[in-house]
Structure 1
């Protein structure tokens, strides 16, 4: 899609239509050990199906992750995702009150616990206001996408 990663020149959140404040997340190190990890989400109408998750002030090795906005929403309510990104809602029976995002890459797997309320509020009050759920495909120029796919073959 054009603008697939809509803000490459100035970092993932520069130029985004909507960005969360930096949230205090925790990287799960196992054995009940965590370290604080700042995280922020961004949404851009140029890539209406996805959100970008970045880790401000982290080194380039940490990178950014782009995944389905719908996956993030579903994960707030029930376990969601297969493959590289899985999201689980809080599990009060196990004492976890945060959203858990598990990221799997070539170098391993990381589980990150993110505060639920700011993510939930941001999706409802900003992201879905910009592009309502179910209306994302209306922003895609499907003829241009098809032409690009055929041309790049």
Structure 2
């Protein structure tokens, strides 16, 4: 595992920020009992080290993004996790799959994901930012300054 230097909280990180992208094939279960394979992009950006983004291609136009805690993904591989719009749990009948439940005011989706693909993605994110060291990557002072100045 890569060594990540320590720093005082609130200062700029003394290391380069990075991103990681990983393609995943998910299976969507429709309300009428059909299944559809959906390609998704899992993204991790060290500028927001607590979050992962799951992006779906929709009818070839744009992306639909779901942003949720990286820790939720870790927990969902081991057991039921999440209480809100994103919930995960291991598949009871197939240890190679994980159930993913997404819900919004516009609808809900039940999907399965390959446990191996999710684990590989998390392994890559952990090489960038080890679990538990996320606060070291958050530049609190500059975030507050940007917020107060009205910058995006």
TM range (shorter): 0.7 to 0.9
CA distance in 2, matches of 1:32, 1:57: 20
- 1:33/1:122 CA distance change after superposition, 3 Å: same
Map 1:20-59 to 2 at 5 A. Answer: 20=22, 22-30=23-31, 32-56=33-57, 58-59=59-60
Match of 1:121 in 2: 120
Is 2:58–2:64's contact at 8 Å kept on the other side of the alignment?
Answer: no
Map 1:48-127 to 2 at 5 A. Answer: 48-56=49-57, 58-60=59-61, 63-92=64-93, 97-124=96-123, 126-127=124-125
Is 2:96–2:116's contact at 8 Å kept on the other side of the alignment?
Answer: no
Match of 2:5 in 1: none
CA distance in 2, matches of 1:110, 1:61: 18
Cα distance, 1:141 vs. partner? Answer: 1.2
Cα distance, 1:122 vs. partner? Answer: 1.9
Larger Rg: 2
Match of 2:15 in 1: none
- Using the size of structure 1 for normalisation, the TM-score is 0.76
Match of 1:132 in 2: 130
Q: Write 1 or 2 for the structure with the bigger share of strand.
A: 2
Is 1:27–1:34's contact at 8 Å kept on the other side of the alignment?
Answer: yes
**More relative contact order in 1 or in 2 (CA 8 Å, sep 6+)?**
2
Cα distance, 1:90 vs. partner? Answer: 1.9
Unaligned runs of 5+ in 1: 1-15
- Using the size of structure 2 for normalisation, the TM-score is 0.77
